[in-house]
Structure formats: structure tokens, C-alpha cells
Amino acid sequence: MMKDMGGLMKQAKQMQEQLKKVQKELEKEFVIGSSGSGAVEVTMTGSQKCTDVKLDPDKVKELSSDRLQSLVLQAVNDALERSRKLMAKKMGPISGGLGGLGGLKF
């Protein structure tokens, strides 16, 4: 029983190290979400940190503030979704051995 526990602890430590490595990698990878045919672009890291928002002046100059707010929100949500997919792809091999981490989503 004690050998099994030692092996389990070793495996848990390895998984924790792999998780930290992937988290650092995700901080250096970027995704871009957009809306309004490129009127708004949001850049986000794989760890879901927003790093940039770009507005195409030619495409947004005629927009109302409500429409622009809507496009920004859509672009942020698009970037978040792309970031979540990247995170799931990177973390899948790690979390796969834990049965989905008890229902936690990546």
C-alpha cells in the first residue's frame, strides 16, 4: 500500500511540473479574436490575458458607440474562446489522466 502511495505521489508531482510548464508556454502564445469583418481585433494570451485591442479606423469611423461596444464585446469573447481551445489542446494530455479533473474545464 505504501509503495502505491509513493508512486501516486511521484506521478502527481510530475503532473504538477508538466502543468506549470504548459502554463508558462500558454503565457507566451497568442490568439486573435475579431468581429465586424476585422473592424475590431483583440489579442489574448493562451493564459487568457488580454494584451491588445485594435480598431480599424476606416471600419469603425461610421459606427455608433453602441455598435462599437458590441463589436468589442464580440471580439473579446471570440479571443476568449480561442484561448480556451488552445488551453484545452495544451492541457489535454496532462488532464486526460485525471478523468477530466473531476469536471473542471480547461
Q: Cα angle vertex 87, ends 83, 93, to 5°? A: 160
pLDDT tens, residue by residue, 22-61: 999 999 999 999 999 999 999 999 999 999 999 999 999 9
Give the other-Cβ count within 10 Å of 71's Cβ: 20
Q: Beta strand 30-35 with 50-55: parallel, antiparallel or unpaired?
A: unpaired
Tell me the domain boundaries of the chain.
30-95
pLDDT digits (tens, 9 = 90+) for 83-101: 999 999 988 877 765 544 4
- Taking the CA atoms of the chain, what radius of gyration do you get in angstroms? 19
Q: Which CATH number fits domain 30-95: 3.30.1310.10, 3.40.50.300, 3.90.1150.10, 3.90.550.40?
A: 3.30.1310.10
